[in-house]
Amino acid sequence: MANPSELPLPDRLVGDDGAVADPSGGDGPGATAAASSLLRGLNEHQEAAVTSPSSPLRILAGAGSGKTRVLTHRIAHRAEVGTLDPTRVLAVTFTRKAAGELRDRLGRLGLRDGVHAGTFHAIAYAQLRQRWEERGIAPPELLDRKVGFVARLIPGRSDRTTPLDVTAEIEWAAARRITPERYEPEAAKARRRPPVPLATVATVYDRYVEQKRRRRLVDFDDILRLAARDLEADPVYAAARRWRFRHLFVDEFQDVNPLQFHLLQQWLGPDSDVCIVGDPNQAIYAWNGADARYLVDFDHFFPGGETVTLEDNYRSTPQILAVANGVLQRGSNVPIRLRPHRPAGEVPTVRAHADDVAEARAVARACRDGHRPGVPWSAQAVLVRTNAQTTLLTEAMTSAGVPHRVRGAGRLLEQPEVTEALQVVRRAPSLDVALADLDHDVVGGDRLTEERAANVAEVVRLGREFLALEPSGDAPAFLAWLTTTLRDEDRGGGDAVDIVTFHAAKGLEWSVVHVAGLEEGYVPIHHAETTDDVDEERRLLYVALTRARDELHCTWARKRTFGSRSMNRSPSPWVESIETTLGVAPTQVSRSKGAERARAARKAIPKAGVPTSGPEKVLFEALRAWRRDQSRAADVPAFVIFNDATLGAIAERRPRSQSQLLDVPGVGPVKAQRFGADVLRIVAESAG
């Protein structure tokens, strides 16, 4: 991306309305022909979006509707007819890649210089740097390694994942313009569930803000906040900035968060010209602070504006769009319904498999069988809801000889909870003990978020797989095998089948898409509780389905292994919508409403094995206090000692001897020998 730190002033005068009398060198037939050529090939709605004289203008652009083409042609067409000066255009995107593509397309349309395109952060940082230079202020240092900084502010000892999760909470709060003082009630209202108490996060957040101020550091959220503050504090400076960049175009508007919207409001003046583009059906980042209301409630935030809707899809076959629309219609509000414009194609498929291994092998075989001479491997992708699902697929791809790479949330071995789990393996007296300890952590869930626990469960599964191959294998041998096994996650270089999470697939497309793991618990994810949560999960599946151009294949497993436990699975409630659309008999499962009620009921049940009152609760807390001291003394996570479920079982059964202790689920010979005397003493003291 070009360095946006120097944003040149326009090289010629323009009128107060921003129009250039002769931007193309003349008002004759040449200019008219050039403008007309920019409309060639556009459909009725695309042309309306390109030529509309309205401001504010909202373009609701469905998946595959030519959104980027419309946006760039609108800028180029208006430059050609003289209703904007390209040097006064600010085009805001969400990624450097998108900004680069925007500039490339504008260049091919004849606007190689002048238009300023960049992300919110890049544009804001350029603004701040120029402001600091003008005022002779030394720029503060940019804090780009936030997690380590936050880790030092967390009270007591924490594991590797806690700083990452606390940092995520701080970023969520900053995106929502929530101060440390307001964090706890706002987080509770938003049902945030970090692995530490909300009050602890608020304390760390407050320390983080104070330490940045004292050390003169700014993070990326501060860049947006400070850019907006400068404009609010200096009306003369704000007026000059708004004159300089009078025409604003903002892409992916459904992903804008309150902090970004606040900055956008400061960039806009009473005479500003604004065009926003977005798709409410692809609003999938509310969990990260985004607020699609700025797009959906356009008339409230931009009174007097016009809306043009693009529903004509040129990417996918009619059969694929029928499936995607069918899933989307189960929601409460569907502002865009895609219309196909391609010939009929192959009918999408839905297949159930006996278990997750069989599913992964079937997907790998389908990718191999679908590869044909002259068609690259990269024409295919496998999409999954969580990062933990990718490992089994990479194993199956390797066995089938299919080149593949994992894109999105990162490789399994790079996840902090997995790094810590491997440290447990290294320190444990045997691999069996290590896997049992990790498995307890997954069951208890007393320190990990649910998705992190799923990644640890995947390590346990791989450990069991290794021991099945090498019954006498030890921890060093497992670690070597694991590294070798997962080394091929990105095997295949440039031409490979992509394995991608739903979120990371947004904005991408492939000829053939395999959507794997369409099970309740994944789709929707198990922690989606409210109607809004479930609606976002539905939109996320819609995003995954609309990545396919020519073929769509959906699969799910009747049984899936998490760590050392195999669990029966039910298909996603939206599998019924897909099967109904395809005209096949729906899979017999609990219907969506019943499934959602069941999820809510499960959430209302206290964590299994954890006493909530009475003498058992007192003993349980005493055992937890002992466990905390033991874990700190040994410098290991608490779950390595015992997890909450095991402590709860001890509190309920109150064992009085070593043999009775061994009867408690989760207590094996090694732990009984290591901790038995202490545990029996605490139980006896509680009875006295």
Q: How is 543-558 classified by DSSP, letter by letter?
A: HHHTTEEEEEEEEEES
The list of the chain residues with pLDDT below 50 reads: 1-30, 409, 488-493, 589-608
Residue 486 and residue 412 in contact, taking contact as beta carbons nearer than 8 Å: yes
The candidate with the shortest Cα–Cα distance to 582, out of 574, 592, 590, is 574
For residue 75, the model assigns a pLDDT of 95
> Residue 285: left (phi > 0), alpha (psi -120 to 50), or beta?
alpha
pLDDT digits (tens, 9 = 90+) for 338-397: 999 999 999 999 999 999 999 999 999 999 999 988 899 999 999 999 988 998 999 999
Q: Determine the number of helices (DSSP H) and then strands (DSSP E) in the chain.
A: 29, 18
> 380-384 and 548-557: which strand pairing?
unpaired
Q: Write down the pLDDT at residue 443.
A: 62
For the sheet containing 306-310, what is the strand order?
116-119, 89-93, 247-250, 273-278, 57-61, 306-310
Residue 30, pLDDT score: 46
Q: Residue 178 phi/psi, 5° resolution?
A: -100, 125
pLDDT for 16 = 30
CA distance 135 to 233: 14
- Locate 324 and state its tokens: 């995607």
Distances (CA, A) of 383 to 389, 503, 541, 662: 10, 9, 10, 44
Q: What are the tens digits of pLDDT across the range 98-144?
A: 888 888 899 898 887 778 888 898 899 989 988 998 899 998 998 87
Q: Residue 411 has what pLDDT?
A: 64
pLDDT of residue 637: 54
